[in-house]
Amino acid sequence: MSDNRAVVLGAGLMGSSIALDLLDSSLISQVSVVDSNAEKLKTLRFKASRRPIPKVGGVTAVGTADLSGKLETVELDIKKDEDGLKKTLAKADIGIGALPHNLAEQAVMAALEARIDFVDLIYLWRYEGGSTGGGEASKIDARAKQNGVTIIPACGLAPGLTNILAKNAADQMEEVDSVKIKVGGIPEAPKGPLAYKIVFAIDSVLEEYTRDALVVRGGKKVTVPALSEVEELTFAEFPDQKFEAFITDGLSTLPETLKNVKDMEEKTIRWKGHADQIKLLIDLGFFSERPINIRQSSNVRVAPRALLSTLLEKKLAMHQGDKDMTLLRVEVKGRKRKGDSATRVHQYEMVDRFDTETQMTSMARTTAYPCSAVAQMVLEDRINERGFIPPELAVRDERFDDFLSRLDRKGLTIREHEYLAPVA
């Protein structure tokens, strides 16, 4: 076993899944997981002590193994104890961020100071204008190069895997007309309120529905409202089912790393009718963060969004027997060579389901495994550029095939297809 140490910041749904995958790797001797919630850390340790052992060449479990000896849990409030965070990061060879939006920038800055390579799930949704916390990519890039480290932002499912697929398809064309990304995690059956189950932090879900989205229209970057431009779509695996997709802010770094593209957008997939239900809640004022009196004569004031978040977290929680799935479609349209008369569409598609062996949600699998794979490629020096490196630039050419092979071994099968675009 290699003597590599990893630190995962956050023991939530995604952080725990990343940590467990890293524990499975012979490349890593120790995984430290940092969180302020002792109960989450305890649950993670229990899961680590009963890791399913997959068959050789397959994903079916043949028993369990106790990997808790490789796991260190660190109860630490990252927001309050920056020195503790930096000291913990400095002991490791690589760090992975799986924190809420409001802590992501702090984690990246701590990694820079600790001079450690770092892969983050959500940091820097937009390349220009900085992260959700206001950092600037160019300054981070310069500092990372100066410190000799690699910082890879927004490297989960979307953004992350979707960006990598889109860039690889675009690289196979000399002229690109459009990049269309559709992706979403949904319950296997459209039951209950909103036909949805929470598969990652509810506050992040609500943020998706309210933050204006960066898109490219006519070759120019513009913003459009989230939940707009709803379209119906189907997947071959579900011939009798209808889904919908609507605009969300998930392009991340693509508008900067893919130049000269006329149209580019990311849409979130849900069961048909979901967008109208969310718009109704917005119109009724439930997404407002301004506190209001519960009753006219009452002194009790509550922010409607905080109340909504609390209620949805309970009503839409995944329970025993619930199963989710992840749908992904990335389509890049253009021409192989300049001047070609034939316009082609290069498509990637994935349908992933809940893992009954590990009781792992599909959203956790499809978010954790790309992040973990990229982190391990950095450790192996397969990715060795220094600076601020978006995932679509880190995983290119021969690395792309390696990356997909790693995902395939985890049961994430991505189908590739190319066809002539219909004549308009």
Q: Tens place of pLDDT for every residue, the chain, 424 residues?
A: 578 999 999 999 999 999 999 999 999 999 999 999 999 999 999 999 999 876 555 556 668 899 999 999 999 999 999 999 999 999 999 999 999 888 899 999 999 999 999 999 988 644 444 433 344 678 899 999 999 999 999 999 999 999 999 999 999 999 999 999 999 999 999 988 899 999 887 888 998 999 999 999 999 999 999 999 999 999 999 999 999 999 999 999 999 999 899 999 999 999 999 999 999 999 999 999 999 988 776 788 999 999 999 999 999 999 889 999 999 999 999 999 888 889 999 999 999 999 988 889 999 999 999 999 999 999 999 999 999 999 999 999 999 999 999 999 999 999 999 999 987 6
- Position 77, amino acid: D
Nearest-angstrom CA–CA distance, 386 and 334: 32
Nearest-angstrom CA–CA distance, 5 and 69: 13
Nearest-angstrom CA–CA distance, 14 and 9: 10
pLDDT of residue 135: 47
Sorted by where each starts, the structural domains of the chain and their CATH numbers stand as: 4-152 (3.40.50.720), 161-282+316-364+411-420 (3.30.360.10)
pLDDT of residue 128: 46
Residues 6+ apart with CB under 8 A from 88: 7, 32, 34, 74, 76
pTM, to two decimals: 0.93
Nearest-angstrom CA–CA distance, 94 and 108: 12
Pairing of strands 324-335, 344-353: antiparallel
- Residue for token digits 């792992």? 360
Q: What is the largest distance, in Å, between two alpha-carbon atoms of the chain?
A: 71
Q: How far apart are the first and last CA of the chain?
A: 56
In order of 5, 232, 267, the CA distances from 246 in angstroms are: 40, 9, 5
